Amino acid sequence: MPTIPRLTNARAPLTKDVEVLDEFGARRHITIPAERALTLFVDNRELVTLMTLGAAPELLVMGYLRNQRLVESVEDIESITVDWEVEAAAVKTRAGIERFDEKTAKRVVTTGCGQGTVFGDLMGELDSVRLPPAGLPSARLTQASLYRLLNVMRLQETTYKSSGSVHGCALFRQDELMMFVEDVGRHNAIDTIAGWMWLHGMDGGDKIFYTTGRLTSEMVIKSAQIGVPIIVSRSGITQMGYELAMRLGLCLFGRATNRHFICYCGFDRFDAQPEPAELAPVKARTA
């Protein structure tokens, strides 16, 4: 029988209850998925920061080490200890990892939706983020402009419509489409828009960022770093994305398609023009 490593059982809440504003001008409570950072230490050496819901963090760490080919067998691991108070996972191996520096010197960040290796660097730059005040007309959005923006995206020719399997991101000035790009990962798409803005010396204070992907912490931080105060997503939001947006003063819209949306936060940047209440459908309590 193999020697099984000692594991903690540090599960965390998977959802969070938040108050939102919908297209009918109604405030209600929904649940959003949690998201938290987990910094991985191997034999007291920091390796990577992963983003996770926290359902089974010890198994996540074990799988990461295996998939990165850092350990050859489960027997190589003596213990995995997760402590959510410090957002860390400490791995102790039985004999160390051979050629650790060589194996970890060049980590390739994939284009997938779950990348987290750059999270620590992004968080370190939050204090430098400066967004325009909510009182500026150019840093606000009306409900009518939001509907026009969504209609532009509905009519936009996309690879997704013909082939699927990609994410799209766009930059707007109110309902004027300025830049649209698709990629296999939404992180790549927003980085492309950031590069385009940088190339053209463009400020983000009067812009709106649109994405087909969910609003995770990384997407919220990257949007704030390009100075865009309003984000619109076809998908939902995670707890950490929500908390960072509140901290930074961003206005976030999710589940935004046709004439439906949820405004998660930043209500002071939104000029609501509610739909007639009698048109309101029954909605499920989901993100």
Write the class of the CATH domain 130-279.
alpha beta
For 81-107, write each residue's pLDDT tens digit: 999 999 999 999 999 988 888 777 755
d(CA 259, CA 223): 24
For 46-71, write each residue's pLDDT tens digit: 888 888 878 889 988 988 888 678 88
Q: What are the residues facing 271 on neighbouring strands?
A: 142
So what's the pLDDT on residue 109? Answer: 41
For 182-212, write each residue's pLDDT tens digit: 877 677 788 888 888 888 889 999 999 999 9
Q: Which two tokens stand for residue 223?
A: 């949007």
Pairwise pLDDT comparison (35 vs 271), residue with the higher score: 271
CA pseudo-torsion sign 246, 250, 255, 261: positive
DSSP class of 17? E
So what's the pLDDT on residue 121? Answer: 54
pLDDT over 70 (residue 129): yes
> Position of tokens 């398609």?
257
For 229-270, write each residue's pLDDT tens digit: 999 999 999 999 999 999 999 999 999 999 999 999 999 999
Bridging pattern class, strands 251-257 and 77-83: unpaired
Q: What is the mean pLDDT of the chain?
A: 85
Pairwise pLDDT comparison (113 vs 230), residue with the higher score: 230
So what's the pLDDT on residue 64? Answer: 82
User: Among 18, 15, 41, which Cα is nearest to 28's?
Assistant: 18
Q: Which helix (H) or strand (E) holds 153?
A: helix 143-155
pLDDT over 90 (residue 144): yes
So what's the pLDDT on residue 204? Answer: 94
> 11-15, 112-116, 211-215, 236-240 — which is least confidently predicted?
112-116
DSSP class of 215? B
Q: Half-sphere exposure of 208 toward its Cβ, with a 13 Å CA cutoff?
A: 26
Type of residue found at 71: V
Question: Residue 257: exposed, middle, or buried by beta-carbon count in 10 A (0-12, 13-18, 19+)?
Answer: exposed
- Those residues whose C-beta lies under 8 Å from the C-beta of residue 83, and which sit 6 or more positions away, are 8, 10, 89, 90
d(CA 126, CA 122): 7
Mean pLDDT of 179-184: 83
Domain residue ranges of the chain, discontinuous segments joined by +? 34-123, 130-279
Mean pLDDT of 164-182: 88
Q: Domain 34-123: which topology?
A: Ubiquitin-like (UB roll) (3.10.20)
Percent of the chain with pLDDT over 90: 49
- φ, ψ at 257 (rounded to 5°): -145, 140
Reported as a pLDDT band with limits 50, 70 and 90, residue 72 is: confident
CB 64, CB 40: distance < 8 Å: yes
